Amino acid sequence: MSVRRVLVISLGNPGEYRNTYHSAGHIVLEALQRQIGREQPSFAAQRIGKQSALASIGSRYSLMQSPAVMNVSGPWVAKAYKEHLSERGLAPAELGVVLVHDDLEEELGVIKIRDWKRSHRGHNGIKSVNGALRADPAGQWARISVGIGRPDGRDKSGVSDFVLSRVPKNARNVLEGSGSRGVLDALMELDAKWRDD
């Protein structure tokens, strides 16, 4: 059974922390919608997983931004996944799932495809998703990481201050430009692989 739809969910933070490095996933997902082209609708607020979330539901790709705080995003992601299967009458094998998240270990704007089961490397958002959502082995699952660089200090408070700091214009331009193009390339690579499987 081949993948009929691809659900792409970005992790980040809401409210005052929306424009921070920790929300790099949201930033590139918004730009990705524009990269895909006219067939991908603009983001709009929709009721998903019993919360208001920004989503762009196209004929092939469903792009959703998790409205939950990063560290507890798992329950919402699990609800959104189950809801998407049910509302569209899909079997798990017919849905590809991609989680888009920030990555401290890569330079700003560097995009990597990661295996779903790969270590979370201390990323609390991924840890939360792994705790709430058991990946159905019949489905296709992957993560796309978005490099945000890393502060010089490796201590916990320094890292926390960095990921929750505002993204300056030049860094945002990198994420929206080469970052979103990299995410599009990664998504196309996954999609082609999943169509062939």
Is 84 labeled as catalytic in the residue annotation? Answer: no
Q: What residues does 146 pair with on adjacent strands?
A: 102, 111
CA dihedral 23, 30, 186, 143 (to 10 degrees): 40
Residue 102 and residue 171: Cα distance in Å, rounded? 13
Beta-bridge partners for 196: none
The overall longest dimension of the chain from CA atoms, in Å, is 48
State how far the Cα of 22 lies from the Cα of 16, in Å rounded to an integer. Answer: 12
Please answer whether residues 28 and 172 qualify as being in contact, where contact means their C-beta atoms are separated by less than 8 angstroms.
no
Catalytic residue chosen out of the listed positions 22, 26, 84, 123: 22
Catalytic residues: 22
